[in-house]
Chain A
Amino acid sequence: MTLPLSPESLLVLAVLVPFLGAAALPIFHYIPNLREAVTLVTAGMLLLVVIAIATPVMDGIRPEASGFEIVPGIAFALQAEPLGLLFALVASSLWIVTSVYSIGYMRANAEPRQTSYYVCFAIALGSTMGVALAKNLFTLFLFYELLTISTYPLVTHKRSEEAMRAGRIYLGLLLGTSMVLFLPAIIATFVIGGTLDFTPGGIFAGKADATVLAVLLGLYVFGIGKAALMPLHFWLPAAMVAPTPVSALLHAVAVVKAGVFSIVKIVVYVFGVETLVQAGQSGWLTAVAGATVIAASVIALKQDNLKRRLAYSTVSQLSYVILGVAILTPLSVLGAAMHIAAHAWCKITLFFAAGSLYTSAHLTEVSQLDGIGRRMPWTMGAFTIGALGMIGLPPTAGFIGKWFILSGALQSANWLAVVVIIVSTGLNAGYFLPIVFRAFFRPPGGGASEAGAESDMPREAPWPIVAALSMTAAGAIALFFFPDVPLALSKLMIGAEAWTTTGL
C-alpha cells in the first residue's frame, strides 16, 4: 500500500487529530448535529491514521518524530512500536463506537454542557494517543498528566456535591501518585540509566543493583495510579459518578488502560524483562497484583450498584495485566498485552449495557434487574457476552489474554499466580452470572416495576446505544476468532527471540 503521507507525519497526526477536533467542536456549539458530526469525523479519521501507521509497524518499521530537546538528552518525541500501536488501535476504534453511544446517551438523558463534554473527551483521546505513542518516559508522563486533567471535568460532569467530591479524589489521587512516586522514579531512571527512551531490552542492564530496581519498580507501579493497584484503587469506584459513556471509554478503556499500558511498557522497554528476571525482585509484585485481583473481586460480589460492581471488576481485571507482567515470562507478558485489548472490548460492552439500562429504565442496582432480559434482549444479550469475557470463557476475547497469562504462570511454575487466576475466575463467575440469571430467568417484579412507574414496560434504549453495545459485543467475539492483529503486535513486542522460547 502506498501512503499519501509518510509514517512520521501520520504519527504526529495520530496525536494531533483529536486535539484539532477538540478545537473545532466549540465552533458548532449551537448546531448540535454538526457538532456530533465533528466528533464522529474526528474519531473516524483517527482510526484511519492509526491503521495506516499499523501497516509499516507490522513490517518492522518504527516511525518516529521528535520536537524540542527539553532537557539535554530528553526530547518531546513520538515513536510507534507494537505495544503502543496495539493500545492506540484499541482506544481509537472504541472511540468511534463510544461517540455513537455518547450521542444517544447524552441526548436521551438531556445532559447539560454537552459541548465541553465532547471537547474534553477529544482531548482525553488525544492524550491517550500521546501515552500510547510516546517515545520516552517524559513524553508519556506529559500526556499521562494531561489525560488526568482533561478527564476531571468529565468525572465532575454532574457538578453535584457527590460529583465534586469524587472529582477531588480522582484528581488528588492520580496527580498525587504521579507527582510523588512516578516523577521521582522517572528522574531517578534518568540519573541512573542516562536516558528516558523506551529501548527494547531495557536501559538498566548492568547499571543498577537488584535493590534499586525493586525500589524503582515499586515507585512505578504505585506511582501509576491509573493502574488502580490496591490500595490506590479507590479513585476508580468514585469516578463512576461520571456519565456512563465516560465510565465506559475512559474508566474501562483509555484511562485505566493508559495505566496498565504504561506499566507493561516500562517493564518491557525500561527495565527489560531479562534484567528483572536476573534481579529476582518481582515476587512481591505478583503478590500485590494477586491480592488486588482477589480482593477487588470479593468487594465486587457485595456491590448492588451495577456501575460500582463493574468498577471493582475493572480494578480486578487491571491487576491481571499487572500479574501477567509480574510473572515475567514472555508468554505472560504477551498475555498482559492481549488482555489490554480483550478486556477493553468486553468491559466497554458491560458499561454500555449499564448505561442502556439507566437510560431506558433508570435502573442502577443489580437487585432491580429481575426479568429485564426479556424487555431489553439486545442490552442483556450483549451484557452476557461481556460477562463471559470477564470470566474468561470462550468464545470471547477475554479467554485469550487469560489463557496466555495462565500458560506463562504454569511455564514458570509460579503457583501463586496460577491459584490467583483460578480462584478469581470462580469469583468473576460469582458476581456476573447471577446478573445474567436474574435478567433472563427471574420473573419481572420488584425494582423493575417500581422504576417503571412512568412507563410500565421499559423498552430498549435509543438506537445509537443499542447499535454501539451490539458492535462492541460482536467485537468481543470477533477478537476471539480473529486475534491476528493484536497477537502479531504482541509477538513483535516481546521479540522474535523470546517468542521461540514460549514453545508455541
Chain B
Amino acid sequence: MSSVWPHLPILQVVIPLMGAILAAFTRRGATAYAIALAASLALPFVAGAMLWQVLSSGPISYAIGGWEPPFGIEYRVDLLNGFVLLLVSTVGAVIMPFAYRSVGLEIDSGRQAWFYSVYLLCLAGLLGVTITGDAFNAFVFLEISSLATYVLIALGHDRRALLAAYQYLIMGTVGATFYVIGVGFLYLLTGTLNFVDIAARLGDAPPDRINAILAALAFVSAGVSLKLALFPLHAWLPNAYAYAPSMVTAFLAATATKVAVYLLIRLFFSVFGQAVDFAALPVGEIMLLLSIAAMFVASIIAVFETNLKRMFAYSSVAQIGYITLGIGLANQAGLTGSIVHLFNHAIVKAALFAALGCVFFRLGSVSLADISGLGRRMPVTLTAFTVAGLGLIGTPGTVGFISKWYLAVGALDNGSWLLVFLIVASSLIAIVYVGRVVEVAWFRPANSPAVAEAADPPLSMLLPLILLALATIYFGFDTRLTAGVASMAAEMLIGGLR
C-alpha cells in the first residue's frame, strides 16, 4: 500500500484509461460494464485519499515519468481540484449502477462495449483536465474528453443525436482552438507551460507585454467559456443533453461543464490573477453581465420547453450562470458560492436527469404531455425528482440554498443589493418550470395507457437516484465537506491574487 500512496495522482487518470482499453478489447457489453463499474468505483477512493492528503499536508505535486516540473508534466492537486476530482469521480461511481439497465435499453447490444470504453475515455479526460498542472496537457485531456463526448452523444437512440453531436463537435473544436491559441500566447510570453511557472514568469513580464497577456487571457477565456456553455456560447448544450442517452446526459450535466468551470477558475485565479491586477480588468463586469443574462434568459426558455431533457438542459445553462456569477464577484463568499455550487448543482442535475432516465426507461418519452399523472405510478422516481427540483429552486434544507446563500452574501459584500434581488428573483423562474412538471406529474390524472402501466424502474436504477436525492438534502444541512472545502479553496485563490 505504501508503494501505491505516492502514485495516487497518476492512478486517477490511468485507471479509467486502462479500463477504456480493456473494455474496447472485450467486445461484450456485460464484461465491458463490469470493467467500467470496477474502474468507476475505485476512482472516488483515489480522489478521496488525495483530498484527505491535501487537507492534512498541503498540495500534492507529482512529476510524470520523474521529469521534474517545470520541464516535465506536473500533476498538481490542491484543495480546488482535489474537490472537483472527488466530485467527478463520485458522480461517475454513483451513476454506474444506473447505467446497466438504462444503457441496456437505449444502446444496441453490439455497441455497448464501445459505449463503456468511450465513457471511460471521457471520464479519464475530465479527470485529466482537472488534475494536470500543465496548460498544454490540459488541452490534450480536454480534447480526449470532448471527442469521447461527441461519440457518446451520437450514440443516442434519436437520429437527431447525430446532428446534436455534430453541432457540439464544431463548437467544441472552435473552443479548443481558441484555448490552444491562448496557451500558445502564454508559451511565447513565458517559455513554459506549467501553470505555476506561467503565473510566476508572467508577473515578471515587461510592462509593454500587457497586450499580449490580455490577448492570451481573451483566447483562453473564450475557449473555455464555450466548453462550459457560458451564455451566449451555450447553443450546443440543449440539443446535446436532450438527445444523448439518458445515462450520458446525467453524467455530462454533472461533470463536463463543471470541469470546464474549474479550468476557468484555475486560469483566472491561479494564473492570470497572480500575474496582473485582475480587479483592474473588465473580466468581473463581463462575467457578471453574462451570468445574469444566463440566469434569466435560459430560465425563461426552460419555462416554455415541453421536452423535459431540453427544459433541464436550459436550466443547466442558467445554473452555470450562478457559478460564473461567483467568479465575477471574485470575493471570498462569492467564490465559495461558485465552488460549492459546482458540487451542489452536480448532484441536483445528476438526480434530475437520472429521474428523467427512469421516466424514459418506462415511457420511452420525456415530454411533458406524456407524464400526466405519473407521480402515483412511479412514486419513488417522481419523489426523488421533486426533491431534486426543490434543490434546483434553492429551498432551505437543500443544497441549492447553500449556494444561493453564499452567492447572495458575496453580492452584499460587494455592496450590490440589486444583485441579491436578481439572484433570488431568478430562482422564482425555477419555481415556475419545476412547478409545471410537478403539477402535471402529481396533480393531473393519468391519461395514457403507458402511464397506467408504468411502475418504478428496477432497483439498480432507483438506488443511484435515491442516493442523489438524499445527498441533495443531506448536503443542505451538513456542509462541512462541501462549503467547508469550498471556502478554504476560495480563501487560497483569493489570497493568491495580486
Contacts and interface: CB of A to CB of B under 8 A. Distances in A.
Contacts of B439: 164, 167-168
A179 B424 contact: yes
Nearest to A139: B396
B409 A68 contact: no
B409 A180 contact: no
B428 A71 contact: no
B45 interface: no
A70 B402 contact: yes
A67 B477 contact: yes
A172 B396 CA distance: 16
A353 B406 CA distance: 48
Contacts of B402: 70-71
Interface size bracket, B side: 35 or more
Interface stretch (A186-194, A234-242, A270-278): A186-194
A171 B477 contact: no
Interface in B446-498: 476-480, 483
A67 to B, nearest CB: 7
Interface string A73-92: 00010000000000000000
A176 B425 CA distance: 8
A30 to B, nearest CB: 15
B420 interface: yes
A68 B431 contact: no
Contacts of A187: 405, 408-409, 412, 420
B319 to A, nearest CB: 16
B443 A145 contact: no
B464 to A, nearest CB: 23
Nearest to B405: A71
A141 interface: yes
Contact of B412 (A142, A176, A191): A191
Contacts of A467: none
Given A68-B479, A146-B397, A175-B431, A156 B424 contact: no
B477 A184 contact: no
B161 to A, nearest CB: 35
Interface in A147-186: 149, 153, 156, 159, 164, 167-168, 171-172, 175-176, 179-180, 183-184
B390 interface: yes
A184 B421 contact: yes
A308 B80 CA distance: 56
A188 B412 contact: yes
A149 B424 contact: no
Given A171-B435, A179-B424, A70 B479 contact: yes
B307 interface: no
Nearest to B435: A171
Nearest to B394: A179
A184 B409 contact: no
Contacts of B478: 68
B285 interface: no
Interface string B413-451: 100010011001101100110010001001111000000
A138 interface: yes
B395 interface: yes
Contacts of A141: 396
A191 B479 contact: no
Contact of B409 (A67, A172, A190): A190
A153 B476 CA distance: 24
A179 B412 contact: no
Contacts of B409: 187, 190-191
With most chain B CB atoms within 10 A of its CB, the pick from A69, A168, A187 is A187
Contacts of B404: 183
Contacts of B483: 71
A76 B477 contact: yes
Contacts of A145: 395-397
Contacts of B444: 159
Nearest to B397: A142
Contacts of A164: 439, 443
A184 B422 CA distance: 10
B395 A149 contact: yes
A28 to B, nearest CB: 17
A179 B427 contact: yes
A404 B76 CA distance: 69
Given A71-B402, A76-B477, A172-B431, A180 B397 contact: no
Interface in A110-142: 138, 141-142
Contacts of A184: 408, 417, 420-421, 424
Interface string B370-392: 00000000000000000000100
B129 to A, nearest CB: 30
A176 B396 contact: no
Contacts of B396: 138, 141-142, 145
B413 A191 contact: yes
Contacts of B443: 153, 156, 159, 164, 167
Contact of A180 (B412, B424, B435, B477): B424
Given A68-B477, A71-B479, A142-B397, A180 B425 contact: yes
Contacts of B442: 153
A138 B439 CA distance: 28
B477 A70 contact: yes
Nearest to B483: A71
Contacts of A71: 402, 405-406, 479, 483
A49 B474 CA distance: 27
A69 B443 CA distance: 36
Contacts of B390: 149
Contacts of A183: 404, 408, 424
A171 B408 contact: no
A183 B412 CA distance: 13
28 contacts: A68-B477, A68-B478, A69-B479, A70-B402, A70-B479, A142-B396, A145-B395, A149-B395, A156-B443, A159-B443, A159-B445, A168-B435, A172-B431, A175-B431, A176-B431, A179-B394, A179-B424, A179-B427, A179-B428, A180-B421, A183-B408, A183-B424, A184-B420, A188-B412, A190-B409, A191-B409, A191-B412, A191-B413
Closest 8 CB pairs of A and B: A142-B396, A187-B408, A68-B477, A68-B478, A142-B397, A191-B412, A184-B420, A179-B424
Given A153-B442, A172-B431, 14 more contacts: A70-B476, A71-B405, A141-B396, A164-B439, A168-B439, A176-B431, A179-B427, A180-B421, A180-B424, A180-B425, A187-B405, A187-B412, A187-B420, A190-B409
